[in-house]
Each structure stands twice: as C-alpha cells, then as structure tokens.
Amino acid sequence: MNEIRSNVPVAEQIEILKRGVVDLVSEDDLRRKLEKGEPLRVKLGADPTRPDLHLGHAVILRKMRQFQDLGHKVIMLIGDFTAMIGDPSGKSKTRPPLTLQETRANAQSYLDQCRLILRQEPEVLELRFNSEWLEPLGYADIIRLTSRYTVARILERDDFTKRLNAGTPISMHELLYPLTQGYDSVALHADVELGGTDQLFNNLVGRALQRDYDQEPQVVITLPLLVGLDGTEKMSKSLDNYIGLTDEPHAMFAGLMKVPDPLLDNYFTLLTDLPRERIEELLAGHPVAAHRELAREVVAWLHPGADLDAAEERFKAVAKGGIPQNIPQVTVPESDLDAEGRISLARLVVLAGLEPSNGAARKLIQNRGLKLNGETCADPQGYLTREALASEGGMVIQKGKDRFARLGLGS
C-alpha cells in the first residue's frame, strides 16, 4: 500500500489527478481548492443496483485511491435511496425501482469489493448512505428543492431529449433523479465529485445546487467508460464482456490477454501507473508483449502476492488446448446416480460450480459451451455413467476456455 503523501506540490497533484480524465470542471477551481492546503472531500456516488463489480468500476475507484494517497478524504456514498428511483442516465426506458432492502443488500457486496482498491483509514475514507438525508425529507422540502432548478434545464439531458422526440414515456420520478443526486453534494459539502462520462449532467446539477445553497461549487471530474472485451460496448456483466473485480488471478490474466489491440492504450492509461513513455514503447512493440505486461500489472495490483508466473503458465497451457494443473477436484456422491448408475451432464455442471442451476447448465450445453475430457458436449439431455466417473484420473469437465474441474466418484 502506498503511503499517504499530504505535501505533494499542487502542480504535481493536478498532473496525477488529470491522468485518464475526460472532463474537468474546472482545473482552475481544482487548483484553488488544492492551494488552500486542506484535505479535499471527494465524493463518489454509487447506486447499488447490482451486487458485483468489474474492471470498468475499478477505473473510478482507482482515481479515488489516487486522491487518498495524496492525503484527501474520499466519500463512498451509497445511493440506497436514489437506487429506488433508478438512474435514467443513458436509459431508453424507465428502469424498474428497487426496494430499500434490495439496495442495502447489494451495497454490502459492493463495499466488500471496493475494499480491494480503497484505503480503509478513517482519515481518508468516509462511508455514507444518502437515505440519511433524503428519506427524512417531507413534501414541502421536495417542493423547495425542485424550485431551485428549471424543467428546461433538466430536459437538456441528451437521454431525456431523445426519449421525448421518440415519444417514449418519462416518469416524473426520473426528473427528480438529477436533483436528488445533486442534493447529495450539498448534504456532504463535497469539494470534488467523480463519475463516468454518463454522469456529467448529474454532477453539474450538484455544482449548480451547491452554488444556490451558498456553498463553494464542487469540481466535477469524469472518467471514460471502459470498453469491454468485445471491443464495441462498455464493460458490462449483462453483455458478458467483462473481467470481474474478484476474478481469480489466472482468470483475470486470461481475460486481459484478450483485450482488443486498439484498446490497449486505454487499458494501460486507466488501469496502471505505467509512465506514458513506457506505454508508448509497449504499443510500438509486439501486441503479445504489451498484453502480457498489461495482464501482469493489473493482476499484481488487484491480487498482491499472486504468483504471476503461474497465472501466465496456466494461460499458455489453456491457449494451446491443454488442461492446467491444480484444477478443483469435485467428488460426485454415489447417491446422486440414478437406478441405472447414471448422472445428467446438467447436474454435473452444477456440482462442479460452473453454473448455478440445471436450467443454466442445459443452456450452456445447448450452446456448445461444455467439454468433457476435451470433447464438446452438445446434448442437454446427456449423462455420464458410474464407470466413466470411476475411471483412472476421473473426468475433466470444462466450461469455456478456462473453467475446469476434475470429477471423481465418491461414496
């Protein structure tokens, strides 16, 4: 873990904090705040609509960590209340709202994963939930808040404009979202707010509301949305183009080796501390060498102490069609066999932890995503016999390119 550096010159801080940034509103305001010599309050709001994170989320968390290492306090704001509204940013239709209980359950998983990147010292980390100040607001409070911003300005949002022109409904509660997020900045007296480029409008609303509440307006910093492994859209679990923040070292290494060549610069800039000169040198060389250094840098960052050589050797073995060493051993209970001594492939997939349910397992098999001892299985109604499971060395079951387990028969 890096040491907290509270006396770094302002010019050097700005250069560190500008790396990979898309919008900075404004650099002059940031400089003035830093020149005061006091720790800044840096806000990141996150609506815990999903319980899992990927490297796309790590981009902003990494920027937060840079603020922490420079001696500033970051505020991890869990939008447990705003998640019930549903952020309309970039959405072509109204999002279904969540309950407060659902958002808080997701938040715990979210926070556990954030700890992989953020420092935990109380002087540089503050954890808050926006239900603290939004839930107690009464109807009169909401009217006063809405009086501080015009409908015309809210409708300047690109996604709202597109939906209006397309005749797609916009619910009234969605119009309140930017105001409630902006009010978070007022409640926290934020000096800086971070977000993805899709959050620029919402963050600027916070800047405007702070001015209206006689506070010094926050600096707004946005970072790009990390493009996923398909090379076309942002990284997303729903698009299956992601690398999970908690993926095992070998899986993370393999995923980073698949980053499309045109995205290497973006990944190096946003996910590593390599100097620009070194990045240029790598990009000018062989793509495989660049991928290898990217994979080793990111895995070492998120898995300190991981055996990088072992992760790389496993990737090479799998890339050549081999079976890596030290794969999980799964014992199939004799009681799971039917009267004829058989067990379905779908059940084996679930027992091996490759899919959560028989239905998902059958879909995997139907899509030709399952192999047994290197042979593709395409029959979702297929099965294995007792003799096959009891054979010497067992059976190796494989999902995709790098999920393995060795099956054996137990009592």
- Residue ending a domain, among 292, 319, 346, is 319
The answer on 160 and 63 residing in a single domain is yes
Starting at the edge strand that comes first in sequence, how are the strands of the sheet with 329-333 ordered? 329-333, 403-410, 395-399, 370-372, 375-377
What is the CATH classification number for the domain harbouring 282?
A: 1.10.240.10
Q: Which long-range CB contacts under 8 A does 133-139 form with residues at least 24 apart?
A: 133/183, 133/184, 133/187, 134/81, 134/82, 134/180, 134/183, 134/184, 135/81
Residue 147 in any domain: the answer is yes
What pLDDT is attached to residue 10? Answer: 95
Contacts of 260 (CB under 8 A, 6+ apart): 229, 231
The answer on 383 and 287 residing in a single domain is no
- Among candidate residues 322, 273, 314, 277, the one with its CA nearest the CA of residue 294: 273
The answer on 140 and 169 residing in a single domain is yes
The answer on 336 and 205 residing in a single domain is no
* Residue 365, CA distances (Å) to 261, 357, 370 in order: 31, 12, 5
The answer on 348 and 315 residing in a single domain is no
Task: Give the separation between CA 61 and CA 42, rounded to whole angstroms.
Answer: 12
- Residue ending a domain, among 319, 353, 372, is 319
Q: What are phi and psi of 109, to 5 degrees?
A: -65, -40
- Residue 320 identity (one-letter amino acid): K
The answer on 253 and 182 residing in a single domain is no
Residue 172 in any domain: the answer is yes
Tokens of 367: 């899509």
Tokens of 218: 């926050």
Residue 256 in any domain: the answer is yes
**Segments forming the whole domain that contains residue 307:** 249-319
Where do we find the tokens 């609303």?
205
| DSSP per position, 139-180 | HHHHHHHHTTS-HHHHTTSHHHHHHHHTT----HHHHHHHHH
The answer on 377 and 280 residing in a single domain is no
Q: What share of the chain is helix, strand, coil (3-state, %, to 5)?
A: 45, 15, 40
Contact status, residue 219 vs residue 26, Cβ threshold 8 Å: yes
Residue 354 in any domain: the answer is yes
What pLDDT is attached to residue 411? Answer: 65
The answer on 171 and 198 residing in a single domain is yes
Question: Tens place of pLDDT for every residue, the chain, 411 residues?
Answer: 467 777 899 999 999 999 999 999 999 999 999 999 999 999 998 876 666 788 988 999 999 999 999 999 999 998 888 776 655 444 434 445 666 677 777 777 778 888 889 999 999 999 999 989 999 999 999 999 989 888 888 887 777 888 888 888 888 878 888 899 999 999 999 999 999 898 898 899 999 999 999 999 999 999 998 998 988 888 887 677 889 888 889 889 999 999 999 999 999 999 999 999 999 999 999 999 999 999 999 999 999 999 999 889 888 878 777 777 777 888 888 888 888 889 999 999 998 888 888 888 999 898 888 888 888 888 989 988 888 888 877 788 888 777 888 888 876
Residue 244 in any domain: the answer is no
- Among candidate residues 79, 96, 88, the one with its CA nearest the CA of residue 135: 79
Residue 203 in any domain: the answer is yes
What pLDDT is attached to residue 261? Answer: 95
Task: Give the separation between CA 105 and CA 103, rounded to whole angstroms.
Answer: 6
The answer on 214 and 196 residing in a single domain is yes
The structure's pTM equals 0.78
The answer on 384 and 277 residing in a single domain is no
Exposed e or buried b per residue across 350-362, where buried means at least 16 C-beta atoms within 10 angstroms of its C-beta: bbbebbeeeeebb
The answer on 365 and 263 residing in a single domain is no
What is the CATH classification number for the domain harbouring 69?
A: 3.40.50.620
- Residue ending a domain, among 266, 296, 319, is 319
| DSSP reduced 3-state for 267 | helix
Q: What are phi and psi of 318, to 5 degrees?
A: -70, -40
| DSSP per position, 367-405 | TT-EEETTEEE--TT-EEEHHHHTSTT-EEEEETTTEEE
What is the CATH classification number for the domain harbouring 356?
A: 3.10.290.10
Residue 242 in any domain: the answer is no
The answer on 349 and 315 residing in a single domain is no
The count of domains in the chain is 3
- Residue 113 identity (one-letter amino acid): Q
Residue 3 in any domain: the answer is no
| DSSP per position, 301-357 | HHSTT--HHHHHHHHHHHHTT---SSPPEEEEEGGGS-TTSEEEHHHHHHHTTSSSS
Confirm whether residue 237 is marked as ligand binding: yes
